[in-house]
Structure formats: C-alpha cells, structure tokens
Structure 1
Amino acid sequence: MPAGLGDRRRFTAALLGRTVAPEPFDPPARVVRGVLVDISPHLLSLATPHGDERFVLTEATGFWRGTGSGFSDLRPGQDVIVRCVPEAASVAERVWSGLARATGVIAEVDEDILRVDTGHDREPVTVVIPYRASGRMQVRHPRLEPGYLFDAVGLWDDGVLQALLPATSQPHYPAADAPRRPPVRSAAHAIAGMVSWYDPARGGSPHANPMGLLGGLAYPALDRAADCGAVCDRATGCAALPLLSLGATVGLVNQCTGESAILPVVACGAAVSHFCDRCVTCDSPARGRIAQLTLASFIALGGRPEAGCFNATLTVG
C-alpha cells in the first residue's frame, strides 16, 4: 500500500474498530512479475526485484501475448507476469507478456491514433488499432470519436497501446450524454457487480516501477470533498456504492472462482464510473463497475486480464 494509506487504515481501525477497517489480506495465489531472462518448453526464468526466479512449465500452462500465443512468442527482455499453481509456488499456471489496457473517454483522434483520457489522476494513453484487430474492435466500438467511451486490452509497443481486444461494448451516446442517475445511498453490506483491472506501472517491470506488483483497487465512489479532489471527473455510477476514502479496506470475492481477499483502496477509479455495463464472464444480471483492481490483484483473484472483467461481491465494513 502506498505510503500514508496504511496510516489512514490504522487510524480508522483504532477509532471505529477492526471490523470496520480490517487488515489487508492477499489472495492465496502467487503472482510474480519481472523481466524475461530465458524460456524453454519446460522452464521459464524471470529477473525480479528479489533475484532470478525459475518456474516449471507444464502442458497445462497457458500463455498470452496478444492472441493464440505459446511459449515461443515470448522473448528475453519482455515484461512478464506469472500466476502460479496455488499448491505449487514454482509451477506456472498461466503466463502473460506485455499486457496493456486503456479505459476511459476518447479525448482526441488523429487518423488511426486515439488519445484516451483514463481519469483525472492518470496520464492519458495513446492507442493504435492494428488492422488485424480493426474488425472486432469496430463491432463493439463503432464510434471512435472524441467524447465516446473506450475500453480495450492489448500490448504495449514502445509506450503505445496496440488495442487487440474490446473489453466492453461502447454505448451509442457520448459519455457526457449518459442518462442522468440520482445519487445512490447504499447501506448494503455486500454489493454485487463487475470488476475490471488497470496496471499502475503501465507495462513497467518491478525493477523500474515498484507499482507493478501493487495490490489493491481503485474505487469509483471516492468522497469528492476529500480524496477525489477539486479536479475529480467521476460520474454517478449505476452501481449502488457507498462513499469511501483512500486507505479504506474492502472484502472482495470472485463469484466465478470463489477466491477472496481483503484489499485496500489505493487510487481513484473515476474512469470506470462512466461505464454501466455488465460482465458476461460467470454471467450476472448486475450492472455497473464496483472496482478497478490493480493488475496483480486481478490475476491473484483468478481473473484473466484478456477477458477484461469478472463478477464479484464487494463487502464494506
């Protein structure tokens, strides 16, 4: 947890009790991120901040670098994330390389290049849609124009996101013309909805950016008067979420796998407050995004980043 946020949680726990602000509890799955050193059909070696680590590859190990990938698509020097088999910390269950995502509002369009505003507290992302992915992207994102929502998963290419997979279906209206929804006042103990992910390190290895393995989530209903700030650009989401502050902790259960964790709120999730979609993974009727997990927490809780989302239950207090 970033400096200062842990102190907030401890102060809240001392004031209101540990049940209101419990200690963060990580998911059981081991997630490792580093720079690829070497790979063979049976062994993968990563340079991590803790030194070189080796992982056994089996016939069941899955790979993702774009679409239809295998171990031969990975090259030394690439940013790689490994999720290990829960009962075997050195056996790779799944391996991802070069993961990238842009979620937000299209700010500018210059021919085939987009600039996507990903929230008031984050840098915009430059996006290019390769020809091989243009068909599937156009089906679910027909209006690549300023003001429209955009959400896609792809690969980093020298700081530019090569968008390969649409992560949702774009609404037919600009974000500014979304139906007005009254503020919600939720007293619910548990809230069901969709969670997505973002990468705080934007493709950087943990050596260059320690945020690459940050655990926690960005929350789309931070208090405007405090943590969201004067330049807050969040909307009134369609999920009935209570107001929280940075440093708060929430319980999260993946409805598809049953994996759970207690995670800290580490950032503002203003970008996802504009989306009123639903996740078809482990189908649920609930609409609205209740959290934007860091990439490491999303994978550790059983999510597949290329799918873009999973359905979850979020517990406050």
Structure 2
Amino acid sequence: MSVDVQERRRFTAALLGEDAAPPPSGPAPQVVRGVAVHITAHMLTVATLDGEERFLFERTTSFWRGRDVGPEDVRVGDDVLVRCGGTGRWVVDRLWAQLGRVTGTIVSADEDAVVVDPGHGRPRAVAVIPYRSSGRMAVRHPVLEPGYLFDAVGVRERGTVHTTVPVTTQPPRPAARMPRRPPARRVPSAQSGIVTWYDPAFGRAAHTDPRAHACGAAYPALDPGSDCGPACDRSEPCLPLPLLSLGATVAVRNDDTGVSGVYPVLNCASAAARFCDRCREASGDASGRLAELTLPAFTALGGRPEVGCFAATMEAG
C-alpha cells in the first residue's frame, strides 16, 4: 500500500470513525509469489522479496501453466504463484506459473492476436489465441472485432498473454452499444456479485517489484471528481455500487469458501463496470463485477486464478 493510500485511510478513520476505514488484511502467509530458481520433482526454490524460499511437493500438489501440468513443465525463471495447504507455509497445495490475464475492450485484431484496452491507468495488452485453444475461445468470444469485450486467462510469453481459458461469455454487442442502466435508487450496504483478479505488476519482476505482492483491490466506481482523474473512462457499473476514493477499504467474502478479507482500493477498474456476467464455476446466480482483487489477495481468499472469478459479498467501508 502506498503512503498516500495509508494517509487517506487514517484521515477517513479520524473523520468518520474506524468502522468507515477498518485496517486492511495483511499478506496471507500461505500465498507466495516470486521467480522459480530451482525445481525438482519434490521441491521448489523461489526468489522472493525476502530472499530465497524453499517449498515441498506432495502427491496431491497440482500445477498449472496454461493447463494442468506436472512439476517438470515449470521452468526456471517462471513467475510462480504458490498457495500452501493447511496452516503451514512449506507444502504446496497449488502452483501457477506465468499467469497472465487480458481484460477490457478490443482495440484491434489481426489473425490470431487482439489488442485490448484495459481502461485508463493501465497499458494496452496483447492477447494471442493459440490454435489449440482457438475452438474454446471462439465459443465464448465469437467476435474478435474492435469495440467488443474480451476477458481471458493464459500464459505470459515475451510481453503477450497466450490465452487458454475464456473467463466469461462475450456480450452480443459492442460495449458502446450496451443498454444504458437506470440509476440505482438505493445502494445496499452489502452487495452480492462476482470478484475477479488483476496483476498490478503486469507479470514483471515478481521477485523485486512490490506491486506483484500487493493485497488490495481495483474498484469500478471511483469518485469521478477526484480519484478517477481527467482521463476517466468508467461507465455506469452493472451493480449499484457506492462511489469510493482511493484508500477506502472494502470487505470481501468468497461465498464459496467462506474466507474473507479487508482490502484497500488501490486502482481503478473501469473495464469491470462494462461486464454484467456471472462466474461460470461459482455457486448461486450472482452477476456483475464488484471489484478486481490483486492476484495474491484473490488467491488468499480461495480463488482459482485460472477460473478468473468467484461469487462474493462485498461491503464498502
């Protein structure tokens, strides 16, 4: 969390009380991100912000690198995200390598690649659709043309994301032609919907960049008069969300696992406001995106990054 965000939380708590700005959850000790420096069939060594750490594999440990793989498919130099099992920190339950995600509005398309605008404040991203996953992608994202929404998870390779899993079903019309949503008459204190994830470090230098380890949220309804900024491109969210500022906190509960946390708002999630989708593997029928958690926070609440979302209940401070 930046100093500015910390100061904002203290100011809000002093002005409105601690209930308006509860202290955020710290990093989960069971979730570790870094760069793989050594790997065998039974052990992994990861370079992290705190130095090298070693982890053990069991027969039940699962691995993902664009698809379910074995430890032999994880490479030295990979950006790895580790979630340990139980209350310990040394035995790996699940490992993800080279995770990448592209979410936003298609700007251009050329054969097997699309350029996507993820909203102001984030650089444009390139999603490559390999032939082996093109059938699955075409079912969920049939129109790869400018103006249509795109959201998929895959493997980062040389500055692009080779997508393998479509997170959502693409709406049937361009984002600019989506029906206007009526203004909300009432904003509930607790809201049900879905939560997704994003990587504030964009897959870069996971062992040296503090952004790769941040526990926070990007929010789709930032105050347009201040925190959204002059280049604000957010639209009316699918859900009746309250306006928040950077530094505000949101309490998020994963409705599938029951695990919850409190996270500061670190960034804008303007693209999330354009999606009114459901999480295909979540229980219940909640729809609409409440927030995007950073990758470590999403994983700490029991989320599966390759699925891309979970059903959640969120309460804004």
| Structure-1-length-normalised TM-score | 0.97
Q: Is the 8 A contact 2:256 2:310 kept in 1?
A: yes
1:10-25 aligned at under 5 Å gives the runs 10-25=10-25
Alignment pair present for 1:267 and 2:234: no
Instruction: Determine the structure 2 residue equivalent to 1:62.
Output: 62
Q: Considering only aligned residues, what root-mean-square deviation do their CA atoms show, in Å?
A: 1.2
Aligned counterparts of 1:125 and 1:29: Cα–Cα separation in 2: 31
Q: Over residues 239-263 of structure 1, what are the superposed CA-to-partner deviations in whole Å (9 max), with x where a residue is unaligned?
A: 1211111000111100000111111
How many equivalent residue pairs? 317
Instruction: Determine the structure 2 residue equivalent to 1:246.
Output: 246
Q: Is the 8 A contact 1:201 1:212 kept in 2?
A: yes
- Which has the higher mean CA deviation after the structures are superposed, 280-289 or 253-262? 280-289
Q: Is the 8 A contact 2:168 2:280 kept in 1?
A: no
Secondary structure of the residue that 1:59 maps to in structure 2?
A: strand
Q: Is the 8 A contact 2:193 2:286 kept in 1?
A: yes
Instruction: Determine the structure 2 residue equivalent to 1:102.
Output: 102
Instruction: Determine the structure 2 residue equivalent to 1:124.
Output: 124
- Which has the higher mean CA deviation after the structures are superposed, 24-33 or 55-64? 24-33
Identity of aligned residues (%): 53
| Structure-2-length-normalised TM-score | 0.97
1:227-242 aligned at under 5 Å gives the runs 227-242=227-242
Q: Over residues 22-60 of structure 1, what are the superposed CA-to-partner deviations in whole Å (9 max), with x where a residue is unaligned?
A: 110237552111111111122111111211100111111
Aligned counterparts of 2:86 and 2:216: Cα–Cα separation in 1: 20
Q: Is the 8 A contact 2:62 2:68 kept in 1?
A: no
Instruction: Determine the structure 2 residue equivalent to 1:295.
Output: 295
Q: Is the 8 A contact 1:194 1:287 kept in 2?
A: yes
Q: Is the 8 A contact 1:199 1:294 kept in 2?
A: yes
Q: Is the 8 A contact 1:185 1:241 kept in 2?
A: no
Q: Is the 8 A contact 2:256 2:311 kept in 1?
A: yes
Instruction: Determine the structure 2 residue equivalent to 1:47.
Output: 47
Alignment pair present for 1:80 and 2:77: no
Aligned counterparts of 2:219 and 2:35: Cα–Cα separation in 1: 29
- Which has the higher mean CA deviation after the structures are superposed, 29-38 or 98-107? 29-38
- Which has the higher mean CA deviation after the structures are superposed, 196-205 or 21-30? 21-30
Q: Cα distance 1:172–1:190, how it changes in 2: closer, same or farther (>3 A)?
A: same
Task: Give, as a single letter, the amino acid of the residue that structure 2 aligns with 1:163.
Answer: T
Aligned counterparts of 2:49 and 2:268: Cα–Cα separation in 1: 27
Secondary structure of the residue that 2:258 maps to in structure 1?
A: coil
Structure 2 residue ranges without an equivalent (≥5): none
Instruction: Determine the structure 1 residue equivalent to 2:133.
Output: 133
Aligned counterparts of 2:26 and 2:240: Cα–Cα separation in 1: 25
Alignment pair present for 1:219 and 2:209: no
Aligned counterparts of 1:69 and 1:44: Cα–Cα separation in 2: 15
Instruction: Determine the structure 1 residue equivalent to 2:282.
Output: 282
Q: Over residues 195-237 of structure 1, what are the superposed CA-to-partner deviations in whole Å (9 max), with x where a residue is unaligned?
A: 0111111112333422111110100011111111121111111
Shift of residue 2, structure 1, vs aligned partner: 2.0
Aligned counterparts of 1:314 and 1:127: Cα–Cα separation in 2: 30
Aligned counterparts of 1:2 and 1:84: Cα–Cα separation in 2: 27
Secondary structure of the residue that 1:138 maps to in structure 2?
A: helix
Task: Give, as a single letter, the amino acid of the residue that structure 2 aligns with 1:305.
Answer: P
Q: Is the 8 A contact 1:219 1:269 kept in 2?
A: yes
Aligned counterparts of 1:177 and 1:162: Cα–Cα separation in 2: 28
Shift of residue 153, structure 1, vs aligned partner: 0.2
Q: Is the 8 A contact 1:33 1:205 kept in 2?
A: no
